[in-house]
């Protein structure tokens, strides 16, 4: 299979380096999925130059015409859904159902923002003087550099690319090297849909080279990043030092509070879905269950049963797939060791899975720790694997204090029949997403998404109208007639 190429100024091109890198199936690491360009800073600069040169013409294209291209791209993705689902499962490791859901989300995002282009424009205000039209215009920011992660390799590129293009910006995107294929497929769909040359550009390769070159380029006006908190802080500093508009969405240590009034069996189902879905590799994964003492023992027994019932194996056949890489698996196993060393009780799981259907894949058993203290590292640090820490509390006040006493604030949930508890939770939780009687994962595409504290730069939200706001700037017009 020939290497996948970069997409710059409407052409599929090789990197100037001549070097390539491979991705592998995390369920079977000897299986090479695809080969990509090991790009250089020069390739990144070429992508930005193409985007900048195309910016004025794309910005002047009527918004509904831009929307028509987005709609056509969404239709292409829909026609290729089965192929894209298989690609995502092989390269990232999600189960077939999870991958299919993510591909559908990307399709829906393109169709959503295609329609939103008809709402772009501005507002009309009444002037305090006569014979004056007073109104605003929404205009594109310019060139957007988009840096996306491997854990949602088609949905996150979609929710950055679609609003950027809808608002009239041009873009240069660098997908994560562990799973760049789905982002390449999005760009291929846009190419087939007739996107003009230079409007969208894609460069694969290392973040330290390609990503930094994109962020630091003086013709880039806005930077959108999703990834780890450590890298996100560096991205934010680099972008803001140059005066660029920037949004960063990063990690989470997301709690689910299980109250005395909750149905324990239903609560175990909800917490298990949030903790072990997508192999725990989601920034919104529910990695902490904060449980009232009255139902603590019953809940631990129930969640252990749920973990034991999960059928782990290759994503095309089983209910929980592998971790994405050997490094991610090793990191999870190290955190499991930390939990044991700190004195938490390993209730179930905790081991790598190999042999038989697991082969040499990056599999780990769904893991539950009981008797976790709030100061344990497994209760405070993002693990990014299928590991749940269960903490016992005496009631609501202690639960909310424990929930908030971490450096993150992305998604949080409470399971309760008590209306007062539910409303106090919404008021007092320090999180960008607050859910009542739902898992911490799962997002609607038409409402804002983002976190508090170390989960986000707290500058701009993504998705829905908020996604368009990041990519537009307002001009106020006074027309005296």
Write out pLDDT tens, residues 243-262. 999 999 999 999 999 999 99
Give pLDDT, residue 142: 98
Q: What is the mean pLDDT of residues 163-174?
A: 98
Q: Are 70 and 196 in contact (CB under 8 A)?
A: no
User: What is the end-to-end Cα distance of the chain in Å, rounded?
Assistant: 65
Token match 């996604």: residue? 467
d(CA 5, CA 213): 19
d(CA 216, CA 418): 50
Which residues contact residue 314 at a Cβ distance below 8 angstroms, ignoring those fewer than 6 apart? Answer: 27, 28, 321, 322, 357, 361
Whole-Å CA distances, 206 to 149, 318, 328: 12, 32, 17
Q: Does the annotation count 283 as an active-site position? A: yes
Q: At what angle do helices 96-116 and 181-192 cross, to 10 degrees?
A: 40
Q: What is the mean pLDDT of residues 190-217?
A: 97
- So what CATH class is 6-250+456-480? alpha beta
Give pLDDT, residue 25: 98
Pairing of strands 367-370, 472-480: unpaired
Give pLDDT, residue 2: 80
Question: Which pLDDT tens digit goes with each residue over 394-413?
Answer: 999 999 999 999 999 999 99
Give pLDDT, residue 130: 82
Percent of residues, the chain, with pLDDT higher than 90: 98
* 372 Cα distance to chain centroid: 28
Q: What is the mean pLDDT of residues 29-43?
A: 97
Secondary structure of residue 260 in the 3-state scheme: coil
Q: What is the mean pLDDT of residues 210-237?
A: 95
> CA angle, corner 225, sides to 36 and 435, nearest 5?
120
Question: Looking at the predicted structure, is the pLDDT value of residue 187 above 70?
Answer: yes
Token match 């070097």: residue? 19
d(CA 335, CA 138): 47
Catalytic residue among 283, 302, 365, 400: 283
d(CA 414, CA 426): 9
Question: Looking at the predicted structure, is the pLDDT value of residue 1 above 90?
Answer: no
Q: Where are the domains of the chain?
A: 6-250+456-480, 254-436
pTM of the model: 0.96
Q: Are 17 and 210 in contact (CB under 8 A)?
A: no
Domains 6-250+456-480 and 254-436 share a fold: no
How many residues in total does the chain contain?
Answer: 481
d(CA 434, CA 163): 24
Q: Are 213 and 462 in contact (CB under 8 A)?
A: no
* 106 Cα distance to chain centroid: 12
Pairing of strands 6-8, 11-13: antiparallel
Q: Count H helices, E strands: the chain?
A: 14, 23
> Most distant CA pair in the chain: distance in Å?
81
Domain covering 254-436: architecture: 3-Layer(aba) Sandwich (3.40)
Question: Looking at the predicted structure, is the pLDDT value of residue 437 above 70?
Answer: yes
d(CA 39, CA 44): 8
Question: Which pLDDT tens digit goes with each residue over 294-332?
Answer: 999 999 999 999 999 999 999 989 999 999 999 999 999
Whole-Å CA distances, 343 to 62, 302, 366, 370, 437: 62, 22, 19, 10, 30
């Amino acid at each position: 299979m020939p290497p996948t190429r970069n997409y710059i100024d409407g052409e599929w091109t090789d990197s100037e380096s001549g070097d390539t890198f491979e991705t592998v199936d995390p369920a079977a690491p000897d299986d090479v999925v695809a080969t990509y360009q090991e790009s250089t800073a020069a390739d990144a600069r070429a992508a930005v130059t193409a985007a900048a040169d195309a910016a004025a013409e794309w910005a002047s294209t009527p918004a509904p015409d831009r929307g028509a291209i987005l709609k056509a791209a969404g239709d292409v993705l829909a026609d290729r859904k089965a192929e894209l689902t298989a690609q995502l499962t092989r390269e990232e490791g999600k189960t077939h159902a999870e991958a299919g859901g993510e591909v559908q989300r990307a399709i829906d995002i393109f169709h959503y923002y295609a329609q939103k282009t008809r709402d772009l424009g501005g507002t009309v205000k009444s002037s305090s003087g006569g014979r004056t039209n007073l109104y605003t215009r929404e205009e594109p920011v310019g060139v957007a550099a988009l840096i996306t992660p491997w854990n949602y390799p088609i949905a996150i590129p979609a929710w950055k690319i679609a609003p950027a293009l809808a608002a009239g910006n041009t873009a240069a995107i660098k997908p994560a090297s562990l799973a760049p294929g789905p982002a390449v497929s999005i760009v291929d769909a846009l190419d087939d849909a007739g996107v003009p040359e230079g409007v969208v550009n894609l460069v694969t390769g290392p973040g330290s080279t390609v990503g930094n070159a994109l962020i630091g380029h003086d013709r880039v006006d806005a930077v959108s990043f999703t990834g780890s908190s450590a890298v996100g802080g560096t991205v934010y500093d680099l972008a803001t030092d140059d005066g660029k508009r920037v949004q960063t969405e990063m990690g989470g240590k997301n709690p689910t509070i299980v109250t005395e009034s909750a149905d324990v069996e239903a609560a175990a189902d909800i917490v298990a879905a949030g903790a072990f879905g997508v192999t725990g590799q989601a920034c919104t994964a529910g990695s902490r269950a904060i449980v009232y003492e009255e139902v603590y023992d019953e809940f631990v027994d129930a969640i252990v049963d749920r973990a034991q019932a999960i059928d782990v194996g290759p994503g095309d056949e089983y209910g929980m797939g592998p971790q994405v890489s050997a490094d991610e698996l090793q990191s999870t196993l190290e955190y499991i060791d930390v939990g044991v060393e700190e004195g938490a009780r390993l209730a179930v799981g905790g081991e790598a899975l190999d042999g038989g259907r697991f082969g040499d894949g990056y599999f780990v058993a769904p893991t539950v720790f009981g008797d976790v203290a709030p100061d344990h590292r497994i209760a405070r640090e993002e693990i990014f694997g299928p590991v749940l820490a269960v903490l016992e509390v005496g009631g609501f006040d202690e639960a909310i204090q424990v929930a908030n006493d971490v450096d993150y604030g992305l998604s949080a949930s409470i399971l309760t029949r008590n209306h007062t508890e539910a409303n106090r939770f919404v008021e007092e939780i320090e999180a960008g997403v607050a859910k009542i009687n739902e898992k911490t994962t799962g997002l609607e595409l038409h409402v804002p998404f983002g976190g508090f504290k170390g989960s986000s730069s707290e500058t701009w939200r993504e998705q829905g109208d908020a996604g368009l706001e990041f990519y537009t700037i307002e001009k106020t017009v006074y027309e005296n007639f």
